[in-house]
Amino acid sequence: MAILSGLSVDNLTEILEGQPSFRAAQIFKWIARGAFSFNDMSDLSRELRDELAARHNLYGSSIADRLEDPDGTIKLKMRLTDGAMIEAVLLIDGEGRKTACISTQAGCPAGCIFCKTGSLGFLRSLEAHEIVEQFLHIRSAAPTISNIVIMGMGEPLLNRGELRKALGIITDERGLGLSKRRITLSTSGIVEGIRELAEIGPDIRLAVSLTTADPELRKQLMPIGRSNPLPDLKEALQYYQKKRGRRITLEMVLLGGINTRDEDIEGIIRFNRGLDAAVNLIPWNPVEGMAFQGKALREPTGAEIARFARELKRRGITVTRRWRKGRSVSGACGQLGELPLSQFNRQTH
């Protein structure tokens, strides 16, 4: 039994052995147009539709819940074939542009101490169809999505094979045809994965969650930084820029009083030298029960954020600030991962 939403035209051709060669492209197109069952594929014979339905599934996931914030953000909870739960989010910005925020893993192994997903632990990486289906489900809630950010649950560069397949499907002009320039991947800084992106693509936009350029503090806040040290990360980013010639984004989650000090500003300025990067400030979104060195994490104050932005700008760095969207549905950055995943974790332990 194959799940067709995660197959490229070539994979479909293999599965449809014995059918005329245009059939695979025809089915690929139907999935991109939003067909939810083989019955929707009205230009296939009844016989073929029945045969496909008996042998394959179109989707592997289903929508378990849909939450909507007054600001327009929609969070979809999706149930996967093994019962794991993941989340995908539709964001609408000030200009009305619609962006799908999608997940690449159920839980996350990186363990950042400020992130809800990280606190859940790691269940597994997603398969290509589970990544494509998030986009398709979100699009059925909002037909005109122009952008994708790979910033949901999980560390995308620890699931490169399936993500690559999924992006191949999403950007294929015979189907969904989304432009690579409209896709941004955010990573906690997996050095090997950044080098692979530099060498073989796909040629999407890159954002890196730097959060602090202080090596010791970063290892404490983002344990994955121990095996991906800052000097190696910077070298990989320089290599990426040499190969791809693209401006990157450095994301900074601002944790009140922790990484908002003068030396943090200086550290970022130093890290930024030799890179072509814009800095994106993300004020920490509260997650209950999170602490660092025995003290509860707190949101940065308006004054802390303003000072941080002002100082970086004064030193010639381009600074953007991420708007807080979807907080009432826990759909903002770092808030993804609700009870169902942890319940599932408990059942499997």
Q: Which residues bind ligand SF4 (CB under 6 A)?
A: 108, 110-112, 115, 117-118, 154-155, 188, 209
Stretch that binds ligand SAH, among 80-88, 172-180, 181-189, 308-316 (CB under 6 A): 181-189
Task: Provide the minimum distance between the beta carbon of 134 and ligand SAH in the complex, in angstroms, as a whole number.
Answer: 13
Residue from 99, 186, 228, 241 binding ligand SAH (CB under 6 A): 186
Q: What does 284 interact with, of ligand SAH, ligand SF4, none (CB < 5 to 8 A by kind)?
A: ligand SAH
> Which one of the listed residues 101, 112, 115, 333 is annotated catalytic?
333
Check residue 151 for interaction with ligand SAH (CB under 6 A): yes
> Which one of the listed residues 87, 127, 155, 251 is annotated catalytic?
87
Binders of ligand SAH in range 245-284 (CB under 6 A):
251, 253, 282, 284
Task: Provide the minimum distance between the beta carbon of 43 and ligand SAH in the complex, in angstroms, as a whole number.
Answer: 40
Task: Provide the minimum distance between the beta carbon of 253 and ligand SF4 in the complex, in angstroms, as a whole number.
Answer: 8
Task: Provide the minimum distance between the beta carbon of 277 and ligand SAH in the complex, in angstroms, as a whole number.
Answer: 14
Closest to 65 (Cα-Cα) out of 86, 91, 34: 86
The site for ligand SAH, by CB under 6 A, has a size of: 17
Task: Provide the minimum distance between the beta carbon of 266 and ligand SAH in the complex, in angstroms, as a whole number.
Answer: 21
Task: Provide the minimum distance between the beta carbon of 145 and ligand SAH in the complex, in angstroms, as a whole number.
Answer: 18
**Tokens linked to 178:** 């989304």
Give whichever of 214 and 251 is closer to ligand SAH, judged by the CB atom: 251
Task: Provide the minimum distance between the beta carbon of 102 and ligand SF4 in the complex, in angstroms, as a whole number.
Answer: 12
Residue from 30, 114, 240, 308 binding ligand SAH (CB under 6 A): 114
Q: What does 338 interact with, of ligand SAH, ligand SF4, none (CB < 5 to 8 A by kind)?
A: none
Per-residue HEC secondary structure of the chain comes to CEEHHHCCHHHHHHHCCCCCCHHHHHHHHHHHCCCCCHHHCCCCCHHHHHHHHHHEECCCCEEEEEEECCCCCEEEEEECCCCCEEEEEEEECCCCCEEEECCCEEECCCCCCCCHHHHHCEEEECCHHHHHHHHHHHHHHCCCCCEEEECCCCCHHHCHHHHHHHHHHHHCCCCCCCCHHHEEEEECCCHHHHHHHHHHCCCCEEEEECCCCCHHHHHHHCHHHHCCCHHHHHHHHHHHHHHHCCCEEEEEEECCCCCCCHHHHHHHHHHHCCCCEEEEEEECCCCCCCEECCEECCCCCHHHHHHHHHHHHHCCCCEEECCCCCHHHCCCCCCCCCHHHHHHHHHHC
CA distance 245 to 214: 26
Residue from 3, 233, 333, 341 binding ligand SAH (CB under 6 A): 333
Q: What does 214 interact with, of ligand SAH, ligand SF4, none (CB < 5 to 8 A by kind)?
A: none
Burial of 31 (C-beta count, 10 Å sphere; 0-12/13-18/19+): buried
Q: How far, in Å, are 158, 226, 258, 264, 312 from residue 269 at the CA level?
A: 28, 22, 17, 9, 7
Residue from 127, 155, 162, 304 binding ligand SAH (CB under 6 A): 155
Q: Known catalytic residue: 333?
A: yes
Q: What does 13 interact with, of ligand SF4, ligand SAH, none (CB < 5 to 8 A by kind)?
A: none
Give whichever of 154 and 175 is closer to ligand SF4, judged by the CB atom: 154
Number of CB atoms found within 10 A of residue 47's CB: 8
Binding mask 196-235 for ligand SAH (x = CB under 6 A): -------------x-x------------------------
Number of CB atoms found within 10 A of residue 77's CB: 17
Active site residue ranges: 87, 333
Positions in the binding site for ligand SAH (CB under 6 A): 114-115, 151, 155, 186-188, 209, 211, 251, 253, 282, 284-285, 287, 333-334
